[in-house]
């Protein structure tokens, strides 16, 4: 008996439906009215927002590296150390560079000696050339001997110039060695706080191809910025100077405030998703915000109070064939009613209002939205009107319940 109970109930339901259909056909009864789910139109506040995620960072971050290669002899700063401009924060072993400076000084002294010798030889050669010129004038020596003496004097002058060039080269080499020696002192280029240290004492750094990073210094953590990734669909709503609020996971109950400084035009494309960087200036006087924190940002681009608003569910409603038939085909889903004369644009929608048990389409023009409500800018809509959010036939609902398995 238990196994046949579902079949018996199904047969009873089918008989009931068949009897209802026969009674309706025989009596000409009208179909039951549609059941509407509605929401009221009212006046209230709408705050339109755009959300995005970003990362906190210092406004100015300086990477401090080494211009020379060598072993790290000492570190005078560590993580979170405050530093001043010109402060010694690391030292590269200077022994090789000291030796290079001494070698440069020795080479300069040798070049200066060679220059003095060349000048002395040039003075002697000029005297010999002068005597030769006097003798050839008195026809006491041959002209060839005088020419040789003049050539020797010219060669001596050239030797002096060459010696002077050697001295200049030696002086430049010495200066280079002194500069490299000075580069063994790693000093802070700015006032700030060390946020990263990448080497240890005894580690060898190689600056052959690029300067190795030793420290990363944030100039001022009391003023920070948030770099956010804003979707291309939302970036048109943002403006420079508009307010922004954000939270971080470290302080979930606290809301921080900032101002949009810049919306950068450089696009960032990741898996065919285009975003733009909106930079937000943030005051951090208590230093509770740290570089690298993830910020959940909310941009408020419109805040209006006392506006005529309707739930978005009513704007998303699409009429059923029964509702279109009851309204005489007055509107197609999502489009203004025929004869309304409104252009088909994204802000032109059709709202279904219920009065005296009947629904009618009303073309409207919408404004801002907060995700739950939308502003009504134009249309024959008043506060207190009931907007349809869903509609159905009660009989169809009963039939659907009867068709469900027990």
The DSSP code for 250 is T
What is the pLDDT averaged over residues 187-203?
A: 93
String of DSSP letters for 55-121 = EEEESSEEEEE-SS-EEEEEE---TT-EE-TT-EEEEE--HHHHHHHHHHHHHHHHHHHHHHHHHHH
Query: Looking at residue 35, what is its pLDDT?
Result: 78
Rg (alpha carbons) of the chain, rounded to whole number: 45
Tell me the per-residue pLDDT of 286-318, one tens digit each, with 9 for 90 and over.
999 999 999 999 999 999 999 999 999 999 998
Query: Looking at residue 86, what is its pLDDT?
Result: 93
Going from the C-alpha of 358 to that of each of 89, 298, 303, 316, 389, the distances in angstroms are 81, 41, 35, 19, 14
H-helix segments, 183-249: none
Reduced to 3 states, what is the DSSP secondary structure of residue 196?
Answer: strand
Instruction: Say which residue, 375 or 355, is predicted with more confidence.
Output: 375
- Cα first-last separation, the chain: 15
Q: To 5 degrees, how large is the angle CA 86–CA 88–CA 89?
A: 115
Residues in the chain: 406
For residue 9, name the pLDDT band (cuts at 50, 70, 90): low
Query: Looking at residue 356, what is its pLDDT?
Result: 82
Q: Which two tokens stand for residue 293?
A: 């924190």
395 membership: H or E segment, kind and range:
helix 394-403
pTM: predicted TM-score of the whole model, two decimal places: 0.65
Tell me the per-residue pLDDT of 218-259, one tens digit each, with 9 for 90 and over.
988 999 999 999 999 999 999 999 999 999 999 999 999 999
Instruction: Say which residue, 145 or 177, is predicted with more confidence.
Output: 177
Please state which of the ranges 119-123, 204-208, 262-266, 300-304 shows the lowest mean pLDDT: 204-208
Query: Looking at residue 373, what is its pLDDT?
Result: 94
H-helix segments, 138-268: 143-182
Q: Which two tokens stand for residue 192?
A: 């700030």
For 257, list phi and psi in degrees, rounded to 5: -120, 150
Query: Looking at residue 297, what is its pLDDT?
Result: 96
Tell me the per-residue pLDDT of 156-181, one tens digit each, with 9 for 90 and over.
999 999 999 999 999 999 999 999 99
The DSSP code for 234 is T
In the chain, helix, strand, coil percent, each to 5? 30, 40, 30
Query: Looking at residue 5, what is its pLDDT?
Result: 58
Tell me the per-residue pLDDT of 68-105, one tens digit each, with 9 for 90 and over.
999 999 999 999 999 999 999 999 999 999 999 999 99
Instruction: Say which residue, 139 or 353, is predicted with more confidence.
Output: 353
């Amino acid at each position: 008996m238990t196994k046949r109970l579902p079949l018996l109930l199904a047969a009873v339901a089918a008989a009931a439906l068949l009897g209802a259909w026969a009674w309706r056909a025989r009596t000409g009864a009208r179909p039951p009215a549609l059941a509407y789910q509605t929401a009221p139109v009212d006046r209230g506040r709408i705050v339109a927002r755009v959300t995005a995620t970003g990362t906190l960072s210092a406004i100015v971050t300086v990477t401090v590296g080494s211009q020379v290669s060598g072993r790290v002899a000492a570190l005078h700063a560590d993580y979170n150390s405050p530093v001043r401009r010109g402060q010694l924060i690391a030292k590269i072993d200077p022994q090789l560079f000291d030796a290079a400076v001494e070698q440069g000084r020795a080479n300069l002294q040798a070049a200066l000696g060679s220059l003095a010798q060349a000048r002395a030889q040039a003075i002697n050669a000029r005297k010999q050339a002068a005597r030769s010129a006097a003798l050839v004038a008195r026809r006491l020596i041959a002209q060839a001997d005088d020419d040789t003496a003049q050539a020797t004097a010219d060669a001596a002058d050239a030797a002096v110039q060459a010696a002077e060039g050697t001295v200049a080269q030696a002086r430049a080499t010495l200066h280079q060695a002194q500069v490299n020696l000075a580069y063994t002192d790693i000093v802070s280029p700015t006032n700030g706080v060390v946020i990263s240290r990448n080497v240890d004492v005894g580690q060898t750094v190689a600056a052959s191809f690029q300067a190795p990073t030793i420290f990363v210094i944030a100039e001022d953590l009391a003023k920070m910025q948030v770099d956010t990734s804003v979707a291309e669909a939302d970036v048109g709503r943002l403006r420079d100077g508009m307010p922004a609020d954000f939270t971080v996971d470290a302080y979930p109950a606290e809301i921080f405030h900032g101002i949009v400084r810049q919306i950068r035009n450089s696009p960032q494309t990741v898996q065919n998703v285009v975003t733009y960087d909106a930079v937000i200036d943030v005051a951090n006087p208590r230093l509770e915000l740290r570089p690298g924190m993830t910020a959940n940002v909310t941009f408020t681009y419109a805040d209006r109070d006392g506006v005529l608003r309707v739930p978005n569910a009513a704007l998303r409603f699409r009429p059923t064939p029964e509702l279109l038939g009851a309204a005489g085909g007055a509107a197609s889903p999502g489009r203004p009613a025929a004869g309304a004369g409104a252009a088909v644009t994204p802000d032109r929608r059709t709202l279904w209002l219920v009065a005296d048990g009947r629904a009618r389409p009303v073309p409207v023009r919408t404004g801002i939205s907060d995700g739950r409500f939308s502003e009504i800018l134009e249309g024959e809509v008043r506060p207190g009107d009931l907007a349809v959010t869903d509609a159905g036939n009660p009989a169809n609902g009963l039939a659907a319940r009867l068709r469900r398995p027990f």
